[in-house]
Structure 1
């Protein structure tokens, strides 16, 4: 087994393509195939299922990928420690759910880069469940999410207290409701736009409403969307109300495009978390970034 074989296999898994992996590593596709065949023969396992359209890991291949990433991670850590030229090209790969990716990471990453020069970030965005899956599949080392999973393989660090608010169209009907001091229970019965099922925002809002005896099944749901910006624009056009992060809503509120309802005695809050796999070998730079993020908003 050679490191170049593991690197070829890992790149195929990450890009789901032999040809794209070959391009990324500047080698030929037959060489990529030969490296993977050599690994399969050495370990007497099938690593990949390959069709004309996709490449997928087998169960054994998924486990093998985890070990490969650990080994390649150790190599990268050695480069960081001993190779001064390599230090000029340091890279941190992370995944983030919507709120962290769009509103939190753009504050933290530049601040970290000011203290640590020549750091390149790669950020993949999805909902919280997507991020958790990426961590468990060893595709990224660090994730930022709005909900916790019960999987014991994961470690979570709370780093930001996110306040959720109800936003409404800036229309006469809703201005009268808010001026009339309506209750949250009354307002939430208006037509509502929800986030997608894997969203941490949606889960936090549902827990909050259920705790106040609001039957989620009776909500007048007019749409489900996976993008916070589309939801804000839809609310501003009068489609309905929504529950979202106050941090995400403020720009539209300040521009007068939507209204904000923030009950004084019933705050809707949730923690945002840094997440990583307990068995993942984090390099020194990744550990430094996690420590920086965990203290950034304190």
Structure 2
């Protein structure tokens, strides 16, 4: 048998009847007539397809099914009160925030977020480390409040603010210092590939100011390996197994920097960074406040 939906108004009347144990008193409290109260209870019992109240000897007792419906009615009341309270209290230091960035950005961002959470224990900050396209998709479907991306096409669906750019470094084994850097050298070394390697290489080659490198297509370079764990990308470079390109923050975090050489190009190459959110989505005060703090942190980097 198909059951009807449970009207919240019937449930509210039922809850009052259970608590007063009296139809007349419920009618007074709810500014209803007694027949109106009886009608609500009758319709609720019809929707549940069972008896909820035992009306013997001028007393009201809950049936087993009535007890279950009463508990459900209480849960709905509590959820409504919690919702209304949350709508009224938009506290910048309380609640959940979901933000996202790349692994290299997390090296800078995560320690700052931990400091904020220590200062405000009722904030729950979830940092998702993800590639650019995942961050962009998450912002559109509202599973992410805001994110930091290093490359995206301008799109009217996003609100984007520029952050300070970060230096990109071409990393070679330390023993490569005396060799000229050109296509032949890089082909001999081979690329240690990672999720952003080709994007970083394209930026680096086009912006370094050196004709020999500007003429190189990243696709022409042989791979010597691939890894998507940021902390491990520089390990094969330090072991003289290849070269790669990473942001300065990733290099600074690597414990064996003495086994690396950062190539000094004619021009420093920087990758842009943007903090983005969904345009026309009204974020809670806690997310807006944290976004501003992130802007301040990255403007000082």
TM-score if structure 1 supplies the norm length? 0.62
CA distance in 1, matches of 2:159, 2:84: 20
Residue in structure 1 matching 2:168, options 164, 174, 183:
164
Tell me if the contact between 1:74 and 1:281 (Cα under 8 Å) persists in the aligned partners: no
Q: Is the 8 A contact 1:210 1:216 kept in 2?
A: no
Higher-Rg member (1/2) = 2
| Corresponding position of 2:242 | 240
Match in the other structure for 1:195: 194
| Alignment correspondent of 1:288 | 289
Aligned equivalents of 1:141 and 1:234: distance in 2?
Answer: 36
Query: 1: CA distance between counterparts of 2:186 and 2:83?
Result: 48
CA contact (8 A) 2:158 2:277 kept: yes
Structure 1 residue 276: Cα displacement: 0.8
Could you tell me which runs of 5 or more consecutive residues in structure 1 were left unpaired when the two chains were aligned.
2-71, 82-86
Whole-Å separation in 1 of the counterparts to 2:110 and 2:130: 16
CA RMSD between the two structures: 3.1
Q: Deviations over 1:46-91 (max 9, x none)?
A: xxxxxxxxxxxxxxxxxxxxxxxxxx9998453335xxxxx87522
1:162 to partner: Cα distance: 0.8
Say yes or no: does 1:129 pair with 2:133. yes
Q: 1:105 aligns with which of 101, 105, 109?
A: 109
Deviates more, 1:286-295 or 1:245-254: 245-254
Assess, with a 3 A threshold, how the Cα gap between structure 1 residues 165 and 111 changes in structure 2: closer, same or farther: same
Other structure's SS at 1:166 match:
strand
Alpha-carbon distance, 1:253 to partner: 6.7
Residues 93/252 of structure 1: CA separation in 2 closer, same or farther (3 Å cut): closer
Aligned to 2:274: 273
| Cα pair distance change 1:176/1:153, threshold 3 Å | same
Question: Is the 8 Å Cα contact of residues 173 and 237 (structure 2) preserved in structure 1?
Answer: yes
Query: How many residues are treated as equivalent by the alignment?
Result: 213
Please state how far the C-alpha of 1:254 moved relative to its aligned partner.
5.7
Kindly state the Cα deviation for residue 279 of structure 1 after the two structures are TM-superposed: 2.5
TM-score by length of 2: 0.61
User: Does the Cα contact within 8 Å between 1:77 and 1:284 map onto a contact in 2?
Assistant: no
Residue 108 of structure 2: SS of its match in structure 1? helix
Find the counterpart in structure 2 of residue 79 from structure 1: 89
Indicate whether 1:96 and 2:101 are aligned.
yes
Structure 2 counterpart SS, 1:164? strand
Q: SS at the partner of 2:89?
A: helix
- Is 1:151 matched with 2:155? yes
| CA distance 1:144–1:230, change in 2 (3 Å) | same
CA distance in 2 between counterparts of 1:161 and 1:77 reads: 37
How far is 1:270 from its partner?
A: 0.8
Shift of residue 252, structure 1, vs aligned partner: 3.1
| Residue 227 of structure 1, CA deviation | 2.2
